[in-house]
Amino acid sequence: MKIVAALFSLLFISSVNADESKFGECDSASILDSSMIVDVPWNSMYPIKLAGITISPSGSGAPNNASNKVFCACEDDLGIFVPGFTQAMYEPARLIELVRQPDCMMTLGGAEMGITNGRARGTTGSQEQYETAQPAFWHYHYYAYPLLLMLEMLVPSRCGDGYLSMDLLYISELDPTWTDPELAFFANPEAVIFANPAAMAACVADAAASAVGKPIDQLYWCAGAWGQLYPLSGYIESKSSIATKTSLLATRSIAALHRRLLARQTTGDQALCSAPIFPTIPKSQYKMNMMYPVPERQSSHEIGESAIKWGEWRNIPSKEDAVYMLWRYNDCCVTYY
């Protein structure tokens, strides 16, 4: 709870006030309680590799470009290469919450940040058959969440990304491209390349790949059965389930951060010593599980995997927001000092 208190003081989070009568109460996702243990699918860590040998069940398998090296060496501060051995596993790394009510921090116990005065409220969209469908919209909040380090299940090492505790990294309320698809297009003009039937048809192959294994990293504009990632904004067509729509937006948030060079590739030989910045989303590096409103306790799902397999029933009326835990595969060289 010290983490939560520190975040509250740094972000000047205000208590729920008179705006509740207009926008409704901000729900608590109850993430920072027993949910840290009981609602986490711990088998999502598999496969765990040590010196190139799998020492755990295979789980969902390693990413497409995972390192197969046994030994490695990394340069120290003096420019000397220090030998070591490889280790790899999926680790819980981030939390992504999707909320319709601006400023609502469900992960932080339902607190509110008083930064928007309730502007740009989201919606689940309109799905009337004979009317023009209203697009759906959610805001997102992106947290560092190194759960294994927070629970002291791992020792901090060079393999981490510098975060030792929970931290708020990004909020879409302050991002004008998230609330304006046209502005998002000008910020990411490559979207025009993927706005054609051929690019859209390629997403069928990505959906099939994610259903039986890992998504196709080369099709970085696709999110499998969930739809297209471009434009990188919070608006999406509403002819799908809540689980599909919120999963797609969670993936768009990751893709947007990669596109802005704010996220890294942690998989592959090139990531053994230091994770390089990567401009497109390496989808097979990630997988996720729903934490709210109905947790996935038994397993996680791949990016783009059809919600029919894992989430169509994970919806509670009046609780159409969501929180996802993001797992990230981490190839690392463990050196001798």
Between CA 47 and CA 49 the distance in angstroms is 6
Smallest CA-to-CA distance from 173 within 94, 117, 123 is with 117
Between CA 92 and CA 127 the distance in angstroms is 35
Contacts of 111 (CB under 8 A, 6+ apart): 8, 13, 14, 15, 16, 26, 105
**If you ran DSSP here, which 8-state letter would residue 294 be given?**
S
Kindly list the averaged pLDDT for each block of 10 residues, start to end, along the chain of length 337: 42 39 73 90 94 91 92 89 93 95 92 76 62 82 93 77 89 92 90 87 93 94 93 86 94 96 94 92 96 94 94 87 96 88
Contacts of 257 (CB under 8 A, 6+ apart): 142, 170, 263
At 115 the pLDDT is: 81
At 125 the pLDDT is: 63
The structure tokens listed for 104 are: 């609502």
Please count the other Cβ atoms lying within 10 Å of the Cβ belonging to residue 216.
Answer: 21
Question: What backbone phi and psi angles, to 5 degrees, belong to 133?
Answer: -70, 135
Question: What backbone phi and psi angles, to 5 degrees, belong to 119?
Answer: -75, 155
Place of tokens 């190194």: 146
Between CA 312 and CA 244 the distance in angstroms is 8
Collapsing DSSP states into helix, strand and coil, what is residue 86?
A: strand
At 129 the pLDDT is: 55
Between CA 219 and CA 233 the distance in angstroms is 19
Amino acid at 225: A
pTM of the model: 0.88
- The β-bridge relationship of strands 301-302 and 286-292 is antiparallel
Please count the other Cβ atoms lying within 10 Å of the Cβ belonging to residue 260.
Answer: 16
- The β-bridge relationship of strands 13-14 and 81-99 is unpaired
At 5 the pLDDT is: 42
Place of tokens 């791949």: 302
Residues of 45-68 as b/e, b for ≥16 C-beta within 10 angstroms? bbbbbeeeeeeeeebbebbbbbbe
Q: If 0-12 CB within 10 Å is exposed, 13-18 middle and 19+ buried, where does residue 331 land? A: buried
Between CA 291 and CA 287 the distance in angstroms is 13
At 127 the pLDDT is: 59
At 23 the pLDDT is: 52
